[in-house]
Amino acid sequence: MVKVLFVCLGNICRSPMAEFVMKDCVKKRGLESNFLIDSAATSDYNEKYQNRIYPEVKEILKENHIPFTDRVSKQMRKEDYHQFDYILGMDEQNIRDILHIIGSDLEHKVYRLLDFTEKPRDIIDPWYYGNFDATYEDVKYGCEKLLEFILNSNQEMIK
Ligand code: 4NP
């Protein structure tokens, strides 16, 4: 079982989008039973106010026929470091905040999602910059490349 945690600042835009896009990629490959996929926030704000996935994210997921379940934001906990194999931040600030939560990344589990692509870069926060279509394209590209990387590292999973 490969355990993947997507992390962003609020856990209401980028990381839940990545969670459901990745679940869809894995399902389409018939690999659901090999994966546990979740998402979390670096900040406590949206968990405190029980905020849910942002409506524009749900719209984009619907438009692209990506199944999802609505739920409230949750903050990443230090223990998550031991529960997950891959911890994917969306931008450099997320990585700094994740390292602040976990202490140190001794097992090299923490990456930016787009570090698995030919164009490593941040996924810009649509909460502040508003381009949800661009976010979806980045998230989809990152998830496809991440899945390729995981499958190459776990050859036994490829049917
Ligand atoms: P996300 O976007 O990190 O992609 O979920 C944000 C959503 C909410 C807030 C910040 C970023 N906020 O400050 O509430």
Query: Domain spanning 2-152 has what CATH number?
Result: 3.40.50.2300
Pairing between strand 86-89 and 35-41?
unpaired
Judged by DSSP in three states, 13 sits in: coil
Per-residue pLDDT of 44-101, as tens digits, reads: 999 999 999 999 999 999 999 999 999 999 999 999 999 999 999 999 999 999 999 9
Would you kindly state where each structural domain of the chain is located, as residue ranges? 2-152
Cβ contact 28:40 at 8 Å: no
**pTM of this structure:** 0.97
Which tokens hold the place of 26? 């894995």
Ligand 1 mutation target, pool 127, 129, 135, 138, most atoms within 8 A of CB: 127
How many angstroms separate the Cα of 34 from the Cα of each of 56, 91, 114, 149, 157?
30, 27, 22, 15, 8
Bridge partners (DSSP) of residue 2 are: 35
Which residue has 């490349």 as its token pair?
145
Q: How far is the CA of 25 from the centre of ligand 1 (A)?
A: 24
